[in-house]
C-alpha cells in the first residue's frame, strides 16, 4: 500500500484508497503506525499536495495529521521536532498555502477540517514551552530577560561592560525592570513561573524585541516615561496576552472531530504565532491609550483586546497584514458602538412588546425633534451670499418669528456676534405663502449657469423656498448641520415629514435612550412575547365600592 502512495504516477482511485487505508491504520493500530511511519515520510507525501485533485490533497493531509497525532509519547517530541523542521523549511506550509488554500477553487468541509487539525497540531508544538516554568537560577534563561533590558535601554552597551558597584547595578536593573512592566522588579524571572503561559511568554517577548525592535523600544520607552499612572506594563501585558492567545487558539488541546475553523493567515508565516503576538501586543498598547486605562483597569483592557482579536478572526483574514488592518478598524470606540448595536438587536429589543412600545414613543420623540428644529429657526442663522465668482464678502440673516408665522430676513454688512433681532430685518415672508421647499439640483440658483453649478459641496448645502407664483428665497447653508436643521424646520412648518440624516440619527439616539430608561425596572426580567390573557368576568360585581 505504501508503494502505491510513494509512486507519484499511481492511478488516482488506487492512490485515494491507499491514503485512506494508511490513515485508518495509523489511527487504529499502534503496531501498524510504526510500520507506516517507517515506510512513509512527510517528504514523500508532499508531491501529492501539488496536484489539482482536492480529494487526494485532503487524504494526504489526513495521513500527515494522523502520523503527527498518533506518535507514541516516547517519540512524540521527536515527531514534533521533525514537523517543526519541515515547517521551518517552508515546504509543507508554503505548498499547502499555494496549492490548497490559495488555489482557484472553493475549499470543501473535509479539507477545511483537515487544515484545522493541522493548524491545531502545529500550535500544540508550543505546549511544551507553555507548560515550562522558568528556573530563576538558570543563567541562560536570566540572560534572555537581560537581553530585553539591553535592547530597550542600553542597545549599544554589552552586558559585561557594566561599570560601577554591584549595588548600583542592581538598583539600575530594578529600575529598568520596573519600566519594562514586570510585576517582580527585583527578580523578574519569578513572573514566568506560572503555567500557562510559562516560558512561551518570554519567547514571544524576545521575538518581538529582536524582529520588531523599533516597535518594541517605542512601546517600552513611551510607557516608562509617563508619570500620569496611565502607563501600560509591557511585561505583565505580554504574559497575560500570551496566555489569552493560547486560550483562543486552544494550545495543548486535541483537535475536535467536527470543527473546520481554520485560519488561512496562520499558513502565511513560519513563525505565525510569534507574529500573531507581535500584532496583538501593539493592539493592546493602542487600546490601553484609547481607554486611558490605569493599572486598576488592566482586566477591562484585556477583555476589550480579546473581543477585538476574536472579531477580527471571525472575518477569516487571508494574511497577517489583513488581520492587522482589520484590528485598525476595531478601535475601542468602534467596539463600544458594536456592543451598543448588538444590545439593541438582542431578542428582547426585537420582541413584540418592545416594538409596540417604540411605535408608541416615536411620535413623542418626533415632536420633541420638531420643537428643537423650530426653536433653532427662531434663533436664526447667518448665511453667506455667493455669486458666480464665489466672492463671499456679503451676509444675510434669516429667522422665524416666535409665533412661527413669519420669516424675517435681511442683508448684513458683516457676520453678527449673536442673534439679530427680528425687528431689525427689513424683509418678511409669511409662512402661509410658502408653496414648497426644494433642495440640491432642484433649487433655482443651482440651475443657473456658472461655477456654483459645478461645486458639489455647495450643491449639497443648497435649498430654496418657493412662494407665490415665481417668488423664491435661496439659501446656501454654512454646513451640513445647519442645512439639516433648516430643511427639517421648514418641512415641519409645512406639515411634512422631516427626512434628514440628522433627524434619523436623533430619533435613533433618543428612542434608544427612552426605551432603556423605561426598561430599567425590568432588568433581568423576561418580557413575554404576548400580553397576559384577560381573566374571565366575575359572576357578580358586588365587590365594587359605590363612592356615592
Instruction: Provide the sign of the torsion angle of the four alpha carbons 508, 513, 514, 519, taken in this order.
Output: positive
Distance CA 317, CA 265 (A): 6
Does 460 have pLDDT greater than 50? yes
Distance CA 397, CA 399 (A): 7
Instruction: Provide the sign of the torsion angle of the four alpha carbons 518, 522, 526, 528, taken in this order.
Output: negative
Q: What is the pLDDT of residues 504-544, one digit of tens each?
A: 999 989 998 888 888 777 766 777 777 889 999 888 888 87
Whose CA is closest to 231, among 239, 240, 222, 244? 222
Instruction: Provide the sign of the torsion angle of the four alpha carbons 465, 471, 476, 478, taken in this order.
Output: negative
Whose CA is closest to 258, among 109, 150, 371, 438? 109
**Which pairing describes strands 394-400 and 381-385: parallel, antiparallel, or unpaired?**
antiparallel
Percent of residues, the chain, with pLDDT higher than 70 = 89
Estimate to the nearest angstrom the gap between the alpha carbon of 399 and the chain centroid.
45
- C-alpha cell of 492? 415641519
pLDDT at 519: 79
Instruction: Provide the sign of the torsion angle of the four alpha carbons 75, 81, 84, 88, taken in this order.
Output: negative
pLDDT at 85: 42
Higher pLDDT, 48 or 454: 48
Contacting residues for 361 by C-beta, under 8 A, at least 6 apart: 511, 514, 515
Distance CA 344, CA 337 (A): 11
pLDDT at 339: 82
Which region among 69-73, 344-348, 432-436, 490-494 has the lowest average model confidence (pLDDT)? 344-348
pTM over 0.75: no
- How confident is residue 95, by pLDDT bands cut at 50, 70 and 90? very high
Q: What is the pLDDT of residues 414-423, one digit of tens each?
A: 777 777 887 7
Does 76 have pLDDT greater than 60? no
pLDDT at 112: 95
Distance CA 482, CA 486 (A): 6
**Which pairing describes strands 434-439 and 427-430: parallel, antiparallel, or unpaired?**
unpaired
Percentage helix, strand, coil, to 5, in the chain? 60, 5, 30
Contacting residues for 526 by C-beta, under 8 A, at least 6 apart: none
Distance CA 79, CA 71 (A): 7
Task: Tell me how many helices (H) and strands (E) the chain has.
Answer: 25, 7
Q: Are 248 and 263 in contact (CB under 8 A)?
A: no
Distance CA 435, CA 472 (A): 10
Which region among 65-79, 193-207, 368-382, 501-515 has the lowest average model confidence (pLDDT)? 65-79
Q: What's the mean pLDDT when you consider all of the chain?
A: 86
Q: What is the pLDDT of residues 239-274, one digit of tens each?
A: 999 999 999 999 999 999 999 999 999 999 999 999
Q: Are 180 and 235 in contact (CB under 8 A)?
A: yes
Instruction: Provide the sign of the torsion angle of the four alpha carbons 150, 153, 157, 161, taken in this order.
Output: negative
Does 86 have pLDDT greater than 80? no
Higher pLDDT, 543 or 275: 275
- How confident is residue 14, by pLDDT bands cut at 50, 70 and 90? very high
399 forms bridges with which residues in the sheet?
A: 408
pLDDT at 216: 95
Where in the chain are the domains? Answer: 1-106, 139-343, 368-503
Give me the helices (H) in 50-198, please: 54-69, 73-88, 91-96, 109-123, 127-130, 139-153, 166-179
Distance CA 284, CA 289 (A): 9
Q: Are 478 and 415 in contact (CB under 8 A)?
A: no
- Mean pLDDT on 222-249: 89
pLDDT at 40: 87
pLDDT at 340: 76
Distance CA 99, CA 57 (A): 9
Q: Are 119 and 190 in contact (CB under 8 A)?
A: no
pLDDT at 449: 58
Q: Are 100 and 49 in contact (CB under 8 A)?
A: yes
- State how far the alpha carbon of 476 is from the alpha carbons of 199, 458, 514, in Å: 66, 7, 35
Architecture (CATH level 2) of domain 368-503: Roll (2.30)
Does 278 have pLDDT greater than 90? yes
Distance CA 15, CA 36 (A): 15
Amino acid at each position: 500500500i505504501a508503494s502505491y502512495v510513494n509512486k507519484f504516477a499511481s492511478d488516482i482511485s488506487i492512490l485515494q484508497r491507499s491514503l485512506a487505508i494508511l490513515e485508518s491504520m495509523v489511527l487504529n493500530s499502534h503496531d501498524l503506525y510504526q510500520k507506516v511511519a517507517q515506510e512513509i515520510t512527510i517528504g514523500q507525501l508532499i508531491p501529492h499536495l501539488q496536484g489539482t485533485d482536492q480529494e487526494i490533497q485532503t487524504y494526504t493531509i489526513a495521513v500527515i495529521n494522523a502520523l503527527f497525532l498518533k506518535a507514541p509519547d516516547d517519540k512524540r517530541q521527536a515527531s514534533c521536532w521533525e514537523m517543526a523542521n519541515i515547517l521551518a523549511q517552508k515546504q509543507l506550509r508554503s505548498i499547502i498555502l499555494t496549492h490548497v488554500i490559495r488555489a482557484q477553487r472553493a475549499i470543501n468541509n473535509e479539507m477545511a477540517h483537515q487544515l484545522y487539525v493541522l493548524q491545531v497540531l502545529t500550535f500544540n508544538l508550543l505546549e511544551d514551552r507553555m507548560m515550562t516554568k522558568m528556573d530563576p537560577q538558570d543563567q541562560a534563561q536570566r540572560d534572555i530577560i537581560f537581553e530585553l533590558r539591553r535592547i530597550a535601554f542600553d542597545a549599544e552597551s554589552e552586558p559585561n561592560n557594566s561599570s560601577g558597584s554591584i549595588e548600583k547595578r542592581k538598583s539600575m536593573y530594578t529600575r529598568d525592570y520596573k519600566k519594562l512592566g514586570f510585576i517582580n522588579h527585583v527578580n523578574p524571572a519569578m513572573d514566568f513561573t506560572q503555567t500557562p503561559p510559562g516560558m512561551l511568554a518570554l519567547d514571544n517577548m524576545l521575538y518581538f524585541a529582536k524582529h520588531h525592535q523599533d516597535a518594541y523600544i517605542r512601546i517600552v520607552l513611551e510607557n516608562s516615561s509617563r508619570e500620569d499612572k496611565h502607563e501600560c506594563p509591557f511585561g505583565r501585558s505580554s504574559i497575560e496576552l500570551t496566555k489569552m492567545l493560547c486560550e483562543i487558539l486552544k494550545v495543548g488541546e486535541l483537535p475536535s472531530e467536527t470543527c473546520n475553523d481554520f485560519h488561512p493567515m496562520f499558513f502565511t508565516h513560519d513563525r505565525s504565532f510569534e507574529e500573531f503576538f507581535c500584532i496583538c501586543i501593539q493592539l493592546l498598547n493602542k487600546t490601553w491609550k484609547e481607554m486611558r486605562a490605569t493599572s486598576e483597569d488592566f482586566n477591562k483592557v484585556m477583555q476589550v483586546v480579546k473581543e477585538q482579536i476574536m472579531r477580527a478572526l471571525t472575518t477569516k483574514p487571508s494574511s497577517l497584514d489583513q488581520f492587522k488592518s482589520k484590528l485598525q478598524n476595531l478601535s475601542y470606540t468602534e467596539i463600544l458602538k458594536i456592543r451598543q448595536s448588538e444590545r439593541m438587536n438582542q431578542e428582547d429589543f426585537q420582541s413584540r412588546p418592545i416594538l409596540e412600545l417604540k411605535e408608541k414613543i416615536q411620535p413623542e420623540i418626533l415632536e420633541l425633534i420638531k420643537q428643537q428644529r423650530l426653536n433653532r429657526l427662531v434663533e436664526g442663522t447667518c448665511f453667506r451670499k455667493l455669486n458666480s465668482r464665489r466672492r463671499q464678502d456679503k451676509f444675510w440673516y434669516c429667522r422665524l418669528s416666535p409665533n412661527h408665522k413669519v420669516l424675517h430676513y435681511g442683508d448684513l454688512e458683516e457676520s453678527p456676534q449673536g442673534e439679530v433681532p427680528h425687528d431689525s430685518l427689513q424683509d418678511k415672508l409669511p409662512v402661509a405663502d410658502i408653496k414648497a421647499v426644494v433642495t440640491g439640483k432642484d433649487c433655482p440658483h443651482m440651475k443657473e449657469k456658472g461655477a456654483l453649478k459645478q461645486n458639489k459641496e455647495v450643491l449639497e448645502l443648497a435649498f430654496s423656498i418657493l412662494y407665490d407664483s415665481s417668488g423664491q428665497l435661496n439659501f446656501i447653508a454654512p454646513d451640513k448641520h445647519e442645512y439639516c436643521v433648516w430643511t427639517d424646520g421648514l418641512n415641519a412648518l409645512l406639515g411634512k415629514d422631516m427626512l434628514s440624516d440628522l433627524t434619523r440619527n436623533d430619533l435613533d439616539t433618543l428612542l434608544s435612550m427612552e426605551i432603556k430608561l423605561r426598561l430599567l425596572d425590568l432588568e433581568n426580567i423576561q418580557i413575554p412575547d404576548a400580553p397576559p390573557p384577560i381573566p374571565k368576568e366575575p359572576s357578580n360585581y358586588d365587590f365594587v365600592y359605590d363612592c356615592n
